[in-house]
Structure 1
Amino acid sequence: MAEPRLEVRRAVRAVLAEVGSAAPNHQTAPVVLVACSGGADSLALAAALAAEAPRAGVVAGGVVVDHGLQAGSAGRARTVGAVLARWGLDPVEVIHVRVGPGPGGPEGRARGARYAVLDAAAERHQAMGVLLGHTMDDQAETVLLGLARGAGARSLGGMAPRHGRYRRPLLRMAREVVRAAIPDEVDPWEDPHNADPAFTRSRVRHQVLPILEKELGPGVAAALARTGELLRADADVLDELAHQVRIDVTRPGGGLDVGELAGLPRAVRWRVLRAAAIDAGCPPTDLTAAHIEAVDALVTAWRGQKGIDLPGAIRIRRRTSRLVFEPSG
């Protein structure tokens, strides 16, 4: 096995080559940012980016987001920013946000705030890519959480290696390998939320996966991540088909044609219904397979039901031969 730092650098090198080949043909070097929390995975990623960017002809910067959820977080964020600058990353931004009350739980709200900050930073610096430090173990946890929600193949597919401007170079690498690649001169910060059993992902990481590894043997995380990758490939094809079909079944003036929907394979029909619900305002993370099954009954088992209420205060009604998505108020 290759030395961990070389493995991480090789993964980053491949992403930078992809970004470079997609860059417009002009004299300005493409900009790539790394999201760094100060945790082990993102520090290893940031160090690899700092080492590989000059030889790839890429301007490499970093963004540190302080969510303000723990005492002393602002000072830690500034320390992480100083480390990134010392490694040669430029620009480096340390941004402080406040995660207020609202729907989605504290994890979901913090994630939303973080991506809003990263999107804004990428726009300011016209970055072609933003690197995230998710590992194979993170992917395995995501697949298990998707299985628990019963949200279908898309959710079981986990995180995408590439989504828009975001790249996850370490998604096929074990967490222990990535963490062995941290430069010796830095001490990573461990978010206490990652060990707090009040958080679902923490319980999956520290209780569920270890039990599976003990009872089923080693390699469960790798198998879950590989399963997610295969399901994501299948889901990509079905989602594209459903996108085209949805255009065909949308009626003038809005709503979906019930007769056309009823003739579709369920795998395609459910995707059409889910996409329509999300576009109407349903939070994707709150929309489960049980919700879509209830909506599907308005198409395939119509007995005069008044409608289905979905997360996000959205109500689905059947009106003659159409399904209509509207605010529940």
Structure 2
Amino acid sequence: MAYTPELRKGIGDVRRCLETLGIHGPSGSRSHGMHEPDRNAPLVLVACSGGRDSLALASVATTVCGTIGVRCGAVIVDHGLVFGSADVARAAADKCRRFGMAPVIIRRVIVDSAGVGVESAARDARYQALIDVASELGAATVLLAHTRDDQAETVLLGLTRTFGLDSLAGMPDVIDRDGVTFARPFLDLTRTQTTAICTSRGIEWWDDPTNGGTADEGGLSTDLPLRSRIRNALLPYLTNFVKTDMVSHLSRSARIAQRDKDYIDTQAARVYEHVVDFADGEAMASIDARTLADEHEAIRTRVIARTLTESNVPVSSKHVEAIDRLIVDWHGQGAVRLSSGYSASRQNHVILLCHDGMHENR
């Protein structure tokens, strides 16, 4: 069977991804042809929705894993948010089994959108299901089918919600969540290329109705998720407006920003270990303000944000900046009131993060 250029690129990108993660068969074989994986070989899982991107990744990953003697399975998460979602999940599972994937697991989740919105709640529920399955099976990694188009959409989405470098960096190639490694080998492929992979392999896919249609098909409903409106209206508009491929432009920019973000995060992690203490009596956490004040603002704000996150306190840029002023512009001001009944106050050279009642007791 002749491989199309799109299929060759997909195979190459998945192979490089697994090599980077150090995933290979027990013998480390790189010979041509398919290899029956040993039952103790590493397990690679693919998160599959039944859409073109994830089915293309599932098909390609099965091919790559077969050539290196690694097991390849799939996880299909059924959010139950659209009519017939169970049928879609079963159809996706059937396709994955026909690819030769094993195990193929369907997980039904309940999406509780109270206070966070459906998109965010569905994403959290999906990740938790993937983490649970990967942990149960001892998977070496979970592959996600995000493409260059998804990266561009994520950058624009981030700009509507956050500020600074983090919003420009988009999605990293590899992340760790609760001890599970997630990797995105298709970030340099476009949605057009994943469509071509499916077409060349005769794979039929499902189109999620919440993704909407294109703007020139009669407009978009404002009821559609923000990401869908960015995908089908804003990105095409920007591309036409500046006469530039904005998907490629934003994706390249995200890779550069991610490189810089990785460096700053590494430096911030080093400082964090020296200035933050989670064993300070009644306080949830304490920050050595005098030591942290000598660091650059980019480091200080990351240390503050991480301290709040590790303490399960909701983080906002407004609160981070207010706590930073307690560090570098201290003149006796009162505590910074945070979300959910928490606050941060300065006592001598220490910032104390407490629940409001704790400060009163102290």
TM-score normalised over the length of structure 1: 0.91
Per the alignment, in what secondary structure is the counterpart of residue 237 of structure 1?
helix
1:188 counterpart = 2:205: yes
* Whole-angstrom CA distance in 1 between matches of 2:24 and 2:72: 16
What is the alpha-carbon distance in structure 2 between the residues aligned to residue 240 and residue 53 of structure 1? 32
Q: Comparing 102-111 with 38-47, which one deviates more in the overlay?
A: 102-111
CA separation in 2, counterparts of 1:65 and 1:169?
20
User: When the two structures are aligned, how many residues end up with a matched partner?
Assistant: 325
For residues 209-265 of structure 1, the C-alpha deviation after alignment (integer angstroms, 9 at most, x for no partner) is 112111112222112111111111111111111112122223672411222222221
Which residue of structure 2 aligns with residue 278 of structure 1?
A: 309
Change (3 A) 1:225 1:313: farther
Change (3 A) 1:308 1:243: same
Asked if residue 204 in structure 1 is aligned to residue 230 in structure 2, the reply is: yes
Indicate the residue corresponding to 1:57 in structure 2.
69
Cα 1:274–1:24 change in 2 (3 A) is farther
C-alpha change, 1:227 and 1:268, in structure 2 (3 Å) is same
Local SS of the residue matching 1:294: helix
Identity across aligned pairs (percent)? 36
Rounded Cα–Cα distance in structure 2 between residues aligned with 1:314 and 1:206:
40
**Which has the higher relative contact order, 1 or 2, with Cα contacts under 8 A spaced 6 or more apart?**
1
Distance in 2 (alpha carbons) for counterparts of 1:44 and 1:61: 14
Q: Distance in 1 between matches of 2:318 and 2:192?
A: 36
What does the per-residue CA deviation read over 1:109-145, in whole Å, with 9 as the maximum and x for residues that have no partner?
Answer: 1111111111111122211011100001111111122
CA contact (8 A) 2:25 2:70 kept: no
Conservation of the 8 A alpha-carbon contact between 2:24 and 2:70 = no
Secondary structure in 2 matching 1:34: strand
Deviates more, 1:209-218 or 1:134-143: 209-218
Residue 3 of structure 1 is matched in structure 2 by 5
More displaced 10-residue stretch of structure 1: 79-88 or 3-12: 3-12
Q: Answer with 1 or 2: which has the greater Rg.
A: 2
Q: Which of 51, 59, 73 matches 1:47?
A: 59
- Residue 24 (structure 1) shift: 7.3
Structure 2 length normalisation: TM-score?
0.83
Q: Which moved more, 1:175-184 or 1:126-135?
A: 175-184
Q: Which of the numbers 174, 183, 191 marks the counterpart of 1:167?
A: 183
1:84 correspondence with 2:107: no
Root-mean-square deviation (Å): 2.2
Secondary structure of residue in 2 paired with 1:127: coil
User: Could you tell me how far apart the structure 1 residues matched to 2:183 and 2:48 are?
Assistant: 13
- Other structure's SS at 1:323 match: strand
> Which residue pairs with 1:289 in the alignment?
317
With 314-323 and 212-221 compared, the bigger mean Cα shift is at 314-323
Is there any run of 5+ residues in structure 1 with no aligned partner, and where?
none
